[in-house]
Amino acid sequence: MTNELATPVSRRTILKGAALGGVATFIAACTGSKANPAASAAATPAASAPASADASAEPTAAASQVATGPLMFANWPAYIDLAGAAGDSGEYAPGSSPTLEEFKKQYGVDVNYQEKIGDNPSFVETIKPALVAGLNTGWDLIVITDWMASKIVTSGWVEKIDHANVPNCTANLADSLKNLPWDPGNDSHYPWQSGMTGVGYNAKTLTENKIAEPTKIADIYALPADKLSFLSEARDTFGLGLLKLGIDANPETITLDDLQKVADDIQPLVDKGLRFTGNEYLQDFAQKKVWAAFVWSGDLASSGGEDDRFIVPEEGALIWTDNMLIPKGAVNKYTAELMMNYVYDPRIAAQIANYVYYVSPVKGAAEEIKKLDPEAAANPLLFPTPEIVAKQHNFQALSDEQESKLNDLYSTLSGT
């Protein structure tokens, strides 16, 4: 049962309930100059060719900026469209990404795309000493999850984005992702993809064991604990834990006691065999080691077995976003901005979303993706309906105190 309707509706909730459903088709595919932000509907693929010419036109407004390269772009793996199919067609080399190849061709600059980010702390820890010392980290563009991104931005470790260079972003960013407390004007970041954390289970295994399919988070707490797994991302586990207890997973309203309650709720499960995993749950599902788990939507959407199901529980689900940032000292800042602008072209955004199977932050992508894959367009995990959006909570940006408590509680639970 959802609680958020009973609580005072925050500004964030209102924004969340807005256009993330992907219905804003009246935004242009590619905007021309700043003076013309809204164009007519139904951006066609044909329009994108001259439109990209438009997109390349806007940077010249800002004097003598030249796209330098190679663009050092660090991202999570499998987070951009890959050319397996395109490679077969001979158009692009195997292993290359159509998006990146088209970018390279259009701007005449090379892109050094490294899938080096495995998890936020491991990656950020490798660039932190350089950032603290004020040195160039070597990267021009990185993609970091909300909670870590907010810390980096607050610490002043990013370059400010020149809005003149990113008209697509300004125009096409989904409304629910605007005006975030840690970067209200989008001076420092633009979202790459969003994802949901919810409950996943293997329908066949549950049927075999005569267990009803869960609809609430509380349902899976009742399963044998050694057939369950929660996430090693503490925020995700505790966020869902809060929702299960009927507490709104909103960092601005929770107390440290609330976190303690979640830990106390989970501890008995840990004692009986609960484990915390990353996305090994997919393998565990396949091997029937785990019957249900806290999962990330993209995984099950794109690669679960046919019996793996993802649900947005009744109590609610979590939403998180991975964001593009330009670290301080980046050598090719302008090129990075061009890339940000480029991926906010709905056609490109659709191209990426069609492979990655996460939630695109770009308005108009839903329309574009219908041309590539109508099934994808109808998939609520990619384009959540307003009902789902209403149940999404963002439990990412915690205060230092909350984070410290969270980490302590989690490390006690996980035995480290």
Partner 1 sequence: MTAAAASGPPTGPTFRRRLNKAVPWLLLAPGLLWLLVFYVLPVIQMFTYSISTGSIEAGFTLTLSPDAYIVALSKFGKQFLNSLLYGGAATIFAFLIGFPVAYSIAFRGGRYKNLILFLVIAPFFTSFLIRTISWKILLGDEGPLLGPLKHTLGILPGDFSLLGTPIAQVAGLTYNFLPFMILPLYVALEKIDPRLIEAAADLYAGRWSAFRRVTFPLALPGVFAGSLLTFIPAMGDYINAELLGNPQTRMIGNVIQNRLLVQNDYPVGSALSFILMAAILAAVAIYARALGTEQLTG
Partner 2 sequence: MATTTADGDDLALRRPSQPVWQKIDRYLLPAFTVLAIGYLLIPIVVMIVFSFNKPVGKFNYAWNEFSIDGWLHPFDWPGLGSAVLTSLGVAIVSTIIATVLGTMIGLALTRYSFRGRGLLNGLIFLPMATPEIVMGASLLTLFVATALPPIAGSVPLLYPTGLHTIIIAHIMFNISFVVVTVKARVSGFDRRLEEAAMDLGADELTTFWKVTFPLILPGITAAALLAFSLSIDDFVITNFVSGTTNTFPIWVYSIQRNALPVQINVVGSMVFLGAVGLVLVSSLRSGGIPKLR
Closer residue to partner 2, CB minimum distance, 25 or 136: 136
Does position 114 bind partner 2 by CB under 8 A?
Answer: yes
Does position 401 bind partner 1 by CB under 8 A?
Answer: no
Does position 7 bind partner 1 by CB under 8 A?
Answer: no
Does position 306 bind partner 1 by CB under 8 A?
Answer: no
Does position 121 bind partner 2 by CB under 8 A?
Answer: no
**In whole angstroms, what is the distance from residue 60 CA to residue 55 CA?**
10
Give the nearest distance from C-beta 172 to partner 1 in angstroms: 34
Beta strands 317-325 and 228-231: pairing type?
A: unpaired
Nearest Cα to 353, choosing from 298, 288, 393? Answer: 298
Give the nearest distance from C-beta 95 to partner 2 in angstroms: 5
Interaction mask 301-330, partner 2, x per CB under 8 A: -xxxxx------------------------
**In whole angstroms, what is the distance from residue 195 CA to residue 38 CA?**
27
Interaction mask 266-305, partner 2, x per CB under 8 A: ------------xx--xx--xx----------xx--xxxx
Task: Give the footprint of partner 1 on residues 115-144 (CB under 8 A).
Answer: 121-122, 125, 128-129, 132
Does position 400 bind partner 2 by CB under 8 A?
Answer: no
Q: Which entry of partner 2, partner 1, none binds 135, CB below 5 to 8 A by partner kind?
A: partner 2
Q: Which entry of partner 1, partner 2, none binds 275, CB below 5 to 8 A by partner kind?
A: partner 1
Q: Which of 30, 117, 211, 318 forms a contact with partner 2 (CB under 8 A)?
A: 117
**In whole angstroms, what is the distance from residue 227 CA to residue 221 CA?**
10
- How many amino acids of this chain bind partner 1 (CB under 8 A)? 28
**Residue 328 region by backbone torsions, left for phi larger than 0, else alpha for psi between -120 and 50, else beta:** beta
- Cβ atoms < 10 Å from Cβ of 209: 12
Closer residue to partner 1, CB minimum distance, 60 or 416: 416
Q: Which residue's entry shows tokens 């999570």? A: 76
∠142-169-330 over CA atoms, to 5°?
30
Give the nearest distance from C-beta 144 to partner 1 in angstroms: 15
Closer residue to partner 1, CB minimum distance, 290 or 339: 290
Q: Which entry of partner 2, partner 1, none binds 95, CB below 5 to 8 A by partner kind?
A: partner 2
Does position 415 bind partner 1 by CB under 8 A?
Answer: yes
Give the nearest distance from C-beta 194 to partner 1 in angstroms: 23
- How many amino acids of this chain bind partner 2 (CB under 8 A)? 47
What is the sign of the dihedral through the CA atoms of 289, 295, 301 and 307? positive
Give the nearest distance from C-beta 277 to partner 2 in angstroms: 12
Closer residue to partner 2, CB minimum distance, 244 or 309: 309
**Residue 361 region by backbone torsions, left for phi larger than 0, else alpha for psi between -120 and 50, else beta:** alpha
Residues lying near partner 2 in the complex (CB under 8 A) are found at 72, 74, 76-80, 82-84, 87, 94-97, 100, 112-119, 122, 125-126, 129-130, 133, 135-136, 138-139, 278-279, 282-283, 286-287, 298-299, 302-306
- List contacts with partner 1 (CB under 8 A): 121-122, 125, 128-129, 132, 155, 224, 226, 234, 270, 273-276, 280, 283-284, 287-289, 404, 407, 411, 413-416
